[in-house]
Amino acid sequence: TLAVDSRPQGAEVYLDGRLSGRTPVNLSVNPGRHEVELRLSGYQPYRVTVNPRPGERVQVFAQLVPEPRQGTLAVTSSPSGAEVYVEGALRGRTPLSLSLPEGRYGVELRLSGYEPYRATVQVRRGETTRLDVRLNPIPRTGTLLLESSPTGAEAYVNGAFRGRTPLRLVLDEGTYRVELRAPGYEPYQATVRVERGRETRLSASLRPIRTGELFLEARPEGAEVYVDGRLAGRAPLRVTLEAGLHEVRVLAPGYAEYRAQVEVRPAESLRLYVELVPVRAVLELYLNVEARVFLDGEEVGVAKGGYLRLEAPFGDHELTLVAPGYRTLVQEVRVTGNQVLRLTLRPL
């Protein structure tokens, strides 16, 4: 006879593989070798071999052991070799199988060149929880965020217009030249580094332009140009000035001075053309004969009775005298003011 009992009671009793009752139970058996197994949900199976002799009563008592409250976490990844962190602790590399107490776990996979993967898994006792992860490569692009005050500035990246601020661009990783332009403001320039998988932010406060440009042309060329009493150069001339009113003077020998007040506006170009008026002097000619008078090839009168009064601009001139029976007289004259010239023509 077999007297089978267990703690806790109620375990199924298998005799030689056949269910024969629940503990406590007495079983009649033939003498000889027998296999006894006890099973109870939540507990580990208990097995024993007995060999009762004829007429012998054999007692079988099992202190059943609870099943461990653990499960298995199996982690694989593509590509493999990723570091596996469970609750922040490194536990190995994929593929990896871990025995863990049942419960919820935070799992993270890390592999160089790939985005981290994070998940929460539930491990149940006696079961295998599988986590199969396809890792995503870290993109080779980054984001460039361009902002400006004021908004609406034109944005140029490596010289190419890309839009107006605020502007978000996806760019390959690398270094870029950025320029922001807005009417009435100084251009803003910067060099930025875009890193893959990250956002680079560039915020610029544009400075108002407080200057404008004066472009002055004059006739004759080479005239001296004075701005606010200071020599700025010679015409033609391009000069940057503070916005506002300025006094401009243009001078050239033999010409009347030009003087004006001009207004230069911020970020604008003011074009000014000045034609100087020649200054004229009085020439009095006294000749020994009556002659036709030419100045710079143009006839200007006849010296009747050997006298002529004429006006000529300041500067160098060619004076020509022609009279019948006399040699033509050609003479260079520099006019710097009123002059009296006494000239003699020679007979042929």
Q: Mean pLDDT of all residues in the chain?
A: 93
Say whether both 130 and 148 belong to one domain.
no
Q: How confident is the model at residue 254 (pLDDT cuts 50, 70, 90)?
A: confident
Q: What mean pLDDT do residues 179-202 have?
A: 92
Say whether both 81 and 110 belong to one domain.
yes
**CB within 8 Å of 61: residues ≥ 6 apart:** 4, 5, 6, 7
Domain-terminating residue out of 79, 113, 134:
134
pLDDT of residue 42 exceeding 90: no
Instruction: Report if residue 196 sits inside a domain.
Output: yes
pLDDT of residue 69 exceeding 90: no
Number of domains in the chain: 5
What is the per-residue pLDDT across 100-147, written as a single tens digit (0 to 9) for each? 988 999 999 999 989 999 999 999 988 899 999 999 988 788 999 999
Say whether both 113 and 82 belong to one domain.
yes
What is the per-residue pLDDT across 210-239, written as a single tens digit (0 to 9) for each? 889 999 999 999 999 999 999 999 999 999
Say whether both 15 and 36 belong to one domain.
yes
Q: What mean pLDDT do residues 242-265 have?
A: 92
Which range of residues forms the domain containing residue 267? 211-275
Say whether both 263 and 309 belong to one domain.
no
Residue 84 has a pLDDT of: 97
Query: Residue 26: which CATH number?
Result: 2.60.40.1120
Separation in Å, CA 44 to CA 39, 65, 99, 127, 129:
7, 6, 17, 15, 21
Residue 70 has a pLDDT of: 85
**Does pTM surpass 0.85?**
no
pLDDT of residue 68 exceeding 80: no
What is the per-residue pLDDT across 265-286, written as a single tens digit (0 to 9) for each? 888 899 999 999 888 889 999 9
pLDDT of residue 67 exceeding 80: no
Number of residues in the chain: 348
Instruction: Report if residue 348 sits inside a domain.
Output: no
Under 8 Å between Cβ of 134 and 77: yes
